[in-house]
């Protein structure tokens, strides 16, 4: 799964209708260019590609203030909305996705109802625990991972990562259960303060 796909769809959806610079500015505001492939070129490429795939509708509007060609604004189609929520649910529940995909999912987690977000995160913990258990059962002997020589360090690193990941996810689950954040359908604005206010329109 591609983090950039989820990030771009989510960023467009947040604004309702957005041009490439707004999407780029919002994602940079989140630091996504540091922890994902959300660089300017990949953002504009994703916008055009997903418009061709029918996930985004492209609107040509007035020429840019810099005097260039007409600016294109994008909005999600019905198919794009379905794809967005499918990617979001996968990003939050899968234990095998890369950290940039999970990060993208966390950026939009409040687009879901609280209970659904909790269910997806619990599924993620179950997957991490099952994966760790399988590795330990298969690779850890009476001598521990030491019996595998330096290759055992690889398995040790992955087991440690899975344990830390599951522990962090349990902490997030506790915070959400205790009322952290505003989720879809709740009183308040889930995305308050996460959009850049100075991006030209």
Distances (CA, A) of 113 to 91, 163, 164, 184: 16, 27, 26, 5
Q: In terms of domains, do 13 and 99 share one?
A: yes
The count of structural domains within the chain is: 2
Q: How far apart are CA 122 and CA 177, in angstroms?
A: 12
Residue 147 lies in a domain: yes
> 106 exposed, middle or buried (CB, 10 Å; 0-12, 13-18, 19+)?
middle
What is residue 201's predicted lDDT score, i.e. its pLDDT? 42
Q: How far apart are CA 196 and CA 201, in angstroms?
A: 11
Residue 200 lies in a domain: no
Q: In terms of domains, do 127 and 164 share one?
A: yes
Low-confidence ranges of the chain (pLDDT < 70): 62-69, 139-148, 195-201
Residue 153 lies in a domain: yes
Q: How far apart are CA 61 and CA 201, in angstroms?
A: 11
What is residue 200's predicted lDDT score, i.e. its pLDDT? 46
């Amino acid at each position: 799964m591609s983090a950039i796909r989820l990030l771009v769809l989510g960023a467009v959806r947040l604004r309702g209708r957005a041009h490439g610079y707004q999407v780029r500015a919002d994602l940079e505001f989140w630091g996504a260019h540091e922890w994902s492939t959300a660089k300017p070129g990949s953002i504009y490429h994703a916008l055009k590609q997903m418009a061709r795939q029918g996930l985004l509708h492209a609107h040509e509007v007035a020429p840019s203030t810099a005097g260039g060609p007409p600016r294109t604004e994008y909005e999600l189609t019905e198919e794009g909305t379905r794809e967005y929520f499918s990617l979001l649910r996968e990003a939050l529940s899968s234990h095998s996705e890369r950290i940039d995909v999970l990060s993208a999912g966390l950026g939009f987690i409040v687009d879901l109802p609280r209970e659904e977000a909790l269910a997806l995160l619990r599924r993620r913990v179950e997957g991490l625990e099952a994966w760790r258990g399988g590795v330990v059962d298969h690779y850890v002997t009476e001598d521990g991972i030491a019996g595998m020589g330096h290759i055992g360090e690889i398995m040790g690193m992955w087991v440690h990562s899975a344990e830390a990941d599951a522990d962090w996810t349990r902490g997030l689950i506790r915070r959400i259960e205790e009322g952290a954040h505003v989720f879809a359908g709740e009183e308040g604005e889930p995305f308050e303060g996460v959009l850049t206010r100075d991006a030209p329109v």
